Amino acid sequence: DRVILVGGAGSPADPDADLGSTQLRSRSTGPAAVRLRFDDGQGHELSGSALVGRNPAAAAGETVDLLIPFADMGRSVSKTHLHLTVDSTGVWVTDRNSTNGSGITPRGGDRLRLEPGQPVLAPVGTTVHFGDRSFTVSAA
């Protein structure tokens, strides 16, 4: 039987070949900011966190970057209905124990109901439903 050794010091097969140099890798990140397009035509760019509702207010000790008040004459939207946080993967949506619930519909997918207090990822192209209203997540 013959044994063939592949690689050697300095060759690409040598795991220590690059110890003397720094290798930079491009980060595969999603959007640093997103655009929220509401069903009433309202649009907001978001790069941090936000609360959405009829008259959103942060809880004691909570800090958010943006409050998005949303007129809803039918009162299907709670005072503070959703908490949103943007990261490199998209928007994390959390229902804040709303009366009429929330959900997401991923692009080409089925509508999923949100459990209050449980963040769910809404990538670009997703429609977020809150009460009888909605917005779509797009790249900024």
List of domains in the chain: 34-139 (2.60.200.20)
At 32 the pLDDT is 79
pLDDT, tens only, 89-115: 899 999 999 999 999 999 999 999 999
Cα–Cα distance between 137 and 21 in angstroms, integer?
41
At 20, give phi and psi (nearest 5°).
-85, -5
Contact 37, 74 (CB under 8 A): no
Kindly report the pTM of this predicted structure.
0.77
Neighbours of 128 (CB within 10 A): 23
pLDDT, tens only, 18-72: 555 555 444 445 557 999 999 999 999 999 999 999 999 999 999 999 999 988 8
Contact 112, 105 (CB under 8 A): yes
Neighbours of 26 (CB within 10 A): 5
